[in-house]
Amino acid sequence: MTPPTAALARQTNDLDAYWLPFTPNRAFKRAPKLIARAKDMHYFTPDGRAVLDGLAGLWCANTGHNRDPIVAAIARQAAELDYSPAFHFAHPKSFELASRVAALAPADLNRVFFCNSGSEAVDTALKIALAYHNVRGEGTRTRLIGRERGYHGVGFGGISVGGIVNNRKFFGSLLAGVDHLPATYNREQQAFTKGEPEWGAHLADELERIVALHDASTIAAVIVEPMAGSTGVLPPPKGYLQRLRAICDKHGILLIFDEVITGFGRLGCAFAAERYGVTPDLLCFAKGITSGAVPMGGVIAREGLYDAFMHGPEHAIELFHGYTYSAHPLACAAGLAALDLYRDEDLFARAKRLEPRFAEAAMTLKGLPGVLDVRTVGISAGIDLSAKPGAPGERGYEAMERAFHDEDLVIRITGDTLAIAPPLIVSEAQIAEIFTKTARVIKAVM
């Protein structure tokens, strides 16, 4: 028989079994980028190299990594209550967390439905929108409107309203009855803008064209990211979201904000809805709710929308939707501890204060060879690099590899676009370090 330690050693060195998500598996397994532990702004590789986190995990670890209060809350919760049924029963922390999230959300966004990821949050919101019209006797409203270059996770609802071709083209005909607004990005008009670009509010009027084509009576909801993160940090043009809200109101269409990235401080407010003074009917969140420590997502609904479901016999379920792990005790404990940290360290206001410095540091990349655009908003930046002739995405990939292996820095890529969005505890010196390293990486891959 193989001695247990030898078996363990063999297993931990075997990279074959794990099929990595959204990753070129063969390239990864040739040169693995392994992270063994983390603290605050840094990761540590198995051999102890400190690597600066320029992406808050994957846009989620907004408080920084392995913060003591979150770690302790998860440990306490695991010892006290591992799980209780999510349907027909509940545990106290689920109510506490829902109340805290509702208190952070603007206006009458007061009712919180929990799930486990951003993808589930999006599919939940789309289903709530369809069901809402149904219970009000407007069951013809079945169309869902997304936007080109939108990312709404990987569920069938999310990829259908999403606007990223590779996320859609392999997966059949997707949901029927979906249409898309045009993307809000135009390099000629917007290149090297700090914050929201002046040009582009008129693109919201495309919704009127879609309404004219399909008729408002067939349209349930419009879903957009207030700032599109995954396709390279595309802040909304000034006035765009306000215009979208007005057109939705005019036609009785629900407006859904996907704030999976923008929620919990990324743009200097609890939610982007607050930054832009626009209240959606449904707001999706995930990631930052637990600072990435335990999977969790959710949807915040306006009170009136929830009330529309509260009819019929009291013993009957009002919304036939939910997950075994909705409001999981460990996620709720992590969420409460993360919200305490955001409050106690005033991290949303900190992000707002740092925004101009962050933008300035990012703009130092302007003028480097091959840098086509730099965009910033809140504590996030998108940097477009020129593609290698005939090999789109290769330069971006090389940049990520060099950042990790040569510069001890984690950044994100989408094709040849780099994204930078560090935890909100990032210091000014670390902001400078991130962009100095990024500049060296860019020079090396050109």
Ligand X SMILES: Cc1ncc(COP(=O)(O)O)c(C=O)c1O
Residues that bind ligand X (CB under 6 A): 117-119, 122, 151-153, 225, 229-230, 258, 260-261, 286
Residue with tokens 């074959």: 16
Smallest separation (angstroms) from ligand X to the CB of 30: 25
| Burial class of 151 by CB neighbour count within 10 A (0 to 12, 13 to 18, 19+) | buried
Smallest separation (angstroms) from ligand X to the CB of 153: 3
Nearer to ligand X, 95 or 171 (CB): 171
Nearer to ligand X, 110 or 119 (CB): 119
Smallest separation (angstroms) from ligand X to the CB of 344: 26
Nearer to ligand X, 124 or 407 (CB): 124
Nearer to ligand X, 279 or 290 (CB): 290
| Burial class of 226 by CB neighbour count within 10 A (0 to 12, 13 to 18, 19+) | buried
Smallest separation (angstroms) from ligand X to the CB of 256: 11
Smallest separation (angstroms) from ligand X to the CB of 124: 11
Smallest separation (angstroms) from ligand X to the CB of 151: 5
Cα–Cα distance measured from residue 216 to residue 210, given in angstroms and rounded to the nearest whole number: 9
Cα–Cα distance measured from residue 145 to residue 222, given in angstroms and rounded to the nearest whole number: 5
Cα–Cα distance measured from residue 327 to residue 90, given in angstroms and rounded to the nearest whole number: 8
Cα–Cα distance measured from residue 271 to residue 277, given in angstroms and rounded to the nearest whole number: 10
Cα–Cα distance measured from residue 152 to residue 158, given in angstroms and rounded to the nearest whole number: 5
Closest-approach residue to ligand X (CB): 118
Strand partners, 234: 228
Q: How far is CA 135 from CA 222, 317, 389, in A?
A: 19, 13, 54
Nearer to ligand X, 159 or 403 (CB): 159
Query: 308, 309, 315, 265: which is closest to 289 by C-alpha?
Result: 265
Residue 107 identity (one-letter amino acid): A
Q: Taking the mean position of all CA atoms in its chain, how far away is CA 373?
A: 22
Reduced to 3 states (helix: H, G, I; strand: E, B; else coil), residue 400 is helix
Strand partners, 192: none
C-alpha atoms less than 13 angstroms from C-alpha of 272 in its C-beta half-sphere? 30
Q: Quick one: tokens of 90?
A: 């509940």
Smallest separation (angstroms) from ligand X to the CB of 79: 27
Nearer to ligand X, 119 or 142 (CB): 119
Smallest separation (angstroms) from ligand X to the CB of 152: 5
DSSP per residue over 9-51, as a string?
A: HHHHT--SS---TTS-HHHHHHS-----EEEBTEEE-TT--EE
Nearer to ligand X, 151 or 348 (CB): 151
Smallest separation (angstroms) from ligand X to the CB of 119: 3
| Burial class of 150 by CB neighbour count within 10 A (0 to 12, 13 to 18, 19+) | buried
Nearer to ligand X, 65 or 147 (CB): 147
